[in-house]
């Protein structure tokens, strides 16, 4: 139970509210009791002084009886000789209780006296009044009980009961408010617990009130939408990857089965060459998949100054089946990983080589930012399919025969490399063929 309370926000907040209210009630009750006690002490002192003054009046009018009636705990009248000449019935026959006298220049003295056996040893407020008589000074002593610290049981019970009621109300009120506030969160939690990978309703309910919980639900739904989209892409990727991996494996199996049917008549050198072609394709697919995995994991790369013109010159110097024409502006420097940028350019050149009729044009220039263009003179790509080619394992139907050497991963890898460098890779309009344009921020001097 304690562990559950420790984990529950509702219980913790209710406990905090209860403790805070209890402390507030304690401080408030203490201040009220202090003020009430001070007022009660003043009232009691005035009562004692009033009773003593009435006795003084009796002394001055010579109407002093032997026994004095009063509501106080005790009264004594002492004459000039120090003898008790009048007292309350409970002090009749008792000796003078105290020798305390007012100062010479004062007519009264207020004091607290304790330990008198006639009053069971309790402490009392004592008033000593000097009465001036012709034969000498008389003294009137009045004793009143002290006010207890709690002033009165009714007052103490009222404050204690009110404090307990306020603490219970604070606990209950905060608990209910928090419970109502967190109710949508509990619904969202239950819905998230029900969601599975195959659930077509991967969304949580959005509360109607426009508050932080509504924002939480909307954020959760956006996250679930991205997750759903990512899972869909992953399913398509797995399906396409299995298909593309199965093709070279099937080709190799077919070659081996045909060769094993007639091993004596098989030209094993030719069969081996065919197997190597399928193995090369399989190796290229696996290599591209590993590259994509690193890019998806945001594996850090180096950031060095790279001259795009020099990079293009180095990559296009290698012999290709199609003619490569370059137009390179010098001093176009970007910050990036040279090996990855070289892979991006190689993928673009390989793609252009498979689709070009005869010529590939590569241009580097600065236009507010670094730009690299790779243009082929092939059939081009229709505007509605320009984003499709950047999806993994996607090859347009019209180009499948010509693109038999590709893995369907080159262009997606190129785009991810561009985005990892803060750039973009798009297909833009061209007079002929396909025009791939890379844009990247230049190095800040």
3-state secondary structure 57-81: HHHHCCCCCCECCCCCCEEEEECCC
Domain ranges of the chain: 10-145, 221-294, 301-440
Q: What is the pLDDT of residue 7?
A: 59
Q: How would you classify the pairing of strands 359-366 and 323-328?
A: parallel
Does the model's pTM come out above 0.75?
no
Q: What is the pLDDT of residue 402?
A: 46
d(CA 266, CA 104): 143
Q: What is the pLDDT of residue 103?
A: 85
- The burial of 397, by beta-carbon neighbours within 10 Å (0-12 exposed, 13-18 middle, 19 or more buried), is given as exposed
Is 301-440 assigned to CATH 3.30.565.10? yes
Q: What is the pLDDT of residue 197?
A: 56
For residue 89, what are the contacts with CB-CB under 8 A and spacing of at least 6? 67
Are 356 and 436 in contact, with CB atoms under 8 Å apart?
no
Q: What share of the chain is helix, strand, coil (3-state, %, to 5)?
A: 50, 15, 30
Give the C-alpha distances (Å, rounded to integers) separating 249 from 53, 268, 280, 287, 293: 122, 18, 11, 16, 22
d(CA 128, CA 21): 46
Are 160 and 150 in contact, with CB atoms under 8 Å apart?
no
What 211-217 contacts at long range (C-beta under 8 Å, 24+ apart), as own/partner pairs, is: 213/181, 213/184, 213/185, 213/188, 214/184, 216/185, 216/188, 217/184, 217/188
CA dihedral over 348, 350, 354, 358, signed as positive or negative:
positive
d(CA 171, CA 174): 5
For residue 63, what are the contacts with CB-CB under 8 A and spacing of at least 6? none
CA 295 to chain centre: 30
Number of residues that this document lists for the chain: 445
Give the C-alpha distances (Å, rounded to integers) separating 12 from 148, 164, 174, 178, 403: 38, 19, 10, 10, 65
d(CA 2, CA 395): 61
Are 227 and 202 in contact, with CB atoms under 8 Å apart?
yes
Q: What is the pLDDT of residue 34?
A: 92
Q: What is the pLDDT of residue 3?
A: 43
Note the maximum CA span of the chain: 160
Q: Cα-flanking dihedrals φ and ψ of residue 74, to 5°?
A: -175, 150
Q: Which residues in the chain land under pLDDT 50?
A: 1-6, 399-403
Q: What is the pLDDT of residue 334?
A: 93
Give the C-alpha distances (Å, rounded to integers) separating 421 from 334, 344, 370: 9, 11, 12
Give the C-alpha distances (Å, rounded to integers) separating 211 from 134, 185, 216, 289, 352: 89, 12, 9, 44, 53
Helix (H, G, I), strand (E, B) or coil at 218: helix
Which CATH number among 3.40.190.10, 2.30.30.30, 3.40.50.1980, 1.10.287.130 corresponds to the domain 221-294?
A: 1.10.287.130
Are 56 and 140 in contact, with CB atoms under 8 Å apart?
yes
Q: What is the pLDDT of residue 396?
A: 64
d(CA 96, CA 200): 100
DSSP type of residue 297: T
Q: What is the pLDDT of residue 1?
A: 39
Q: What is the pLDDT of residue 32?
A: 93
d(CA 110, CA 125): 7
Number of other CB atoms surrounding residue 278 within 10 Å: 18
Helix (H, G, I), strand (E, B) or coil at 438: strand
Is 10-145 assigned to CATH 3.30.450.20? yes
């Amino acid at each position: 139970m304690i562990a559950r309370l420790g984990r529950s926000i509702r219980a913790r907040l209710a406990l905090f509210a209860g403790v805070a209210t209890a402390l507030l009630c304690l401080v408030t009750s203490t201040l009220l009791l202090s003020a009430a006690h001070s007022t009660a002490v003043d009232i009691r002192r005035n009562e004692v002084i009033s009773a003593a003054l009435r006795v003084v009046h009796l002394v001055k009018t010579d109407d002093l009886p032997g026994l004095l009636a009063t509501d106080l705990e005790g009264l004594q009248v002492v004459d000039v000789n120090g003898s008790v000449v009048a007292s309350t019935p409970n002090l009749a026959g008792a000796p003078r209780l105290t020798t305390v006298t007012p100062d010479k220049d004062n007519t009264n003295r207020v004091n607290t006296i304790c330990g008198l056996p006639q009053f069971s040893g309790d402490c009392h407020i004592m008033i000593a009044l000097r009465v001036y008589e012709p034969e000498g000074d008389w003294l009137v002593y009045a004793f009143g009980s002290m006010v207890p610290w709690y002033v009165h049981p009714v007052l103490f019970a009222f404050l204690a009961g009110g404090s307990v009621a306020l603490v219970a109300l604070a606990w209950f009120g905060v608990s209910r408010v928090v419970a109502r506030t967190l109710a949508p969160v509990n619904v969202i939690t239950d819905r998230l617990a029900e969601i599975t990978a195959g659930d077509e309703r991967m969304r949580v309910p959005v509360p109607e009130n426009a508050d932080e919980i509504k924002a939480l639900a909307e954020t959760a739904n956006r996250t679930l939408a991205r997750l759903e989209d990512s899972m869909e892409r992953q399913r398509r990727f797995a399906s396409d990857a299995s298909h593309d991996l199965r093709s070279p494996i099937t080709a190799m199996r077919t070659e081996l089965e045909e060769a094993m049917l007639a091993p004596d008549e098989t030209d094993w050198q030719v069969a081996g060459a065919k197997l190597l072609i399928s193995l090369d394709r399989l190796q290229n697919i696996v290599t591209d998949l590993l590259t994509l995995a690193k890019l998806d994991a945001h594996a850090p790369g180096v950031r060095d100054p790279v001259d795009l013109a020099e990079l293009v010159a180095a990559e296009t110097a290698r012999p290709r089946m199609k003619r490569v024409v370059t137009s390179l502006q010098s001093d176009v420097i970007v910050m990036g990983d040279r090996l990855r940028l070289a892979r991006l350019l190689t993928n673009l050149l390989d793609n252009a080589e498979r689709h070009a009729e005869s010529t590939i044009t590569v241009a580097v220039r600065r236009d507010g930012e670094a730009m690299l263009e790779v243009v082929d003179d092939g059939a081009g790509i229709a505007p509605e399919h320009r984003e499709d080619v950047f999806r993994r394992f996607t090859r347009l139907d019209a180009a499948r025969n010509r693109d038999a050497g590709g893995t369907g991963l080159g262009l997606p890898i190129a785009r991810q490399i561009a985005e990892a460098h803060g750039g973009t890779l798009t297909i833009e309009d061209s007079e002929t063929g396909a025009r791939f344009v890379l844009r990247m921020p230049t190095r800040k001097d």
